[in-house]
Every structure is written in C-alpha cells, then in structure tokens.
A and B are shown apart, each in its own frame.
Chain A
C-alpha cells in the first residue's frame, strides 16, 4: 500500500521565481492538505483540497495556490518566491469521511530553499 509521496525532495530557487510541488495521496484517500513547516515550528496549514476544490485555506497570501486532479493528486504553486518561503513543505492525505481530517498521513516533504 503506497503511502503519501512528494516530489521533488529538495529544491533550490531564486527569489522572485515560481515553484511547483507535487503530492500523491495514500491509496484510497481523497483529501489533500498542504503545510509549511519552518525549522523548530509546527506545520502551518496552507490549504486543503477535496473533490478538486479548495475546501479550507489558512493564513497564506494568494501567491500560494494549488490544484487537485481527478486522481486526487495535488500540486502546490508558489509565485514570486521570497526568502521567507524557505521551509519544509508537507503534504498530508486523509479521507473526507473521517471528518475534518483528524487522521492525516504525511509525505516526507519537499525542502525548499530560496536564495
């Protein structure tokens, strides 16, 4: 049973560039959430996708956008990168039937460095 996968594992970008991160949910899961985790901090909720729609959004600017595909995989796009966007980006999948994602399965994350 494949768990949550994310690509790439590491990424280095320059300030002002754009980046796309990808996530495939755990088999059987239909909901994908994205998190930003700075070193020593808890994961900060970016947004959640279900049925190809953004269902919830955290306190992140519009530079952060996403998409969910019919096969439930998802992308996170960040435009006009800032140095402060450097972080570990985590994708988590869950079942909508489990209710407000109380049990989420996380991928290994993408480490983004903005220089």
Chain B
C-alpha cells in the first residue's frame, strides 16, 4: 500500500520562510510531486523531485531524500496569496494536505 504523511496545518507571517514536510511509504517510487490548492480551486502542480536533492523554482524549492523516504517543500518570502493547501503526491496518490495560513 501507500501512505503519505504531512502536517495538517502550518501558520507563518508574511516574508517568512516555511517548510512543509512529507514522509511516504510506497510499494513503488517514481518521485515526489507537490501541488497547491486554493480554497474553491483545483490543485496546481508546483514541483517534482525524481532524484535526491533540491529543486528550486522561484520562491519555492523542493527536496527529496529517497533513503529517508522524506521530502519537503520550502516556501520563501511568504506572501498572503500563498495561503492555500499543499499536497505531496507519489504516483498520483496524494497526502491529506497541509493548510498554510500566512498572516500579515
């Protein structure tokens, strides 16, 4: 089977940095993806890690350690518009999501 664990909620202030962790157990692993979903909207793809290490895309970075079955999404210079739910996903299976609230 597959399971993905991530914190349910994270709160941070504007301009800060926040890290959302994800640990996974899967029978087959082909990389870790991250998605963002605003309330009332559809998930949108943020990043993908197929190999160990850090991938950077603007203010967002994602990290993977396959030996630890662990990854994280790093959001820098937080903005109010970053308030949303963030999901990690493996082979199309999603975690329960982390709700990020950015406060002024």
Contact = CB atoms under 8 A, between A and B. Distances in A.
B27 to A, nearest CB: 12
A102 B30 CA distance: 8
A43 B31 CA distance: 18
Interface residues of B, number: 18
A51 B41 CA distance: 28
B53 interface: no
Contacts of A105: 45
A16 to B, nearest CB: 29
A84 interface: no
Interface in B14-34: 30-31, 33
Given A102-B50, A103-B33, A45 B93 contact: yes
Interface of A: prevailing SS:
loop
Nearest to B46: A103
B90 to A, nearest CB: 9
B48 A103 contact: yes
A45 B94 contact: yes
B104 interface: no
B43 to A, nearest CB: 5
Contacts of A41: 96-97
Interface of B: 30-31, 33, 41-45, 48, 50, 87, 91-97
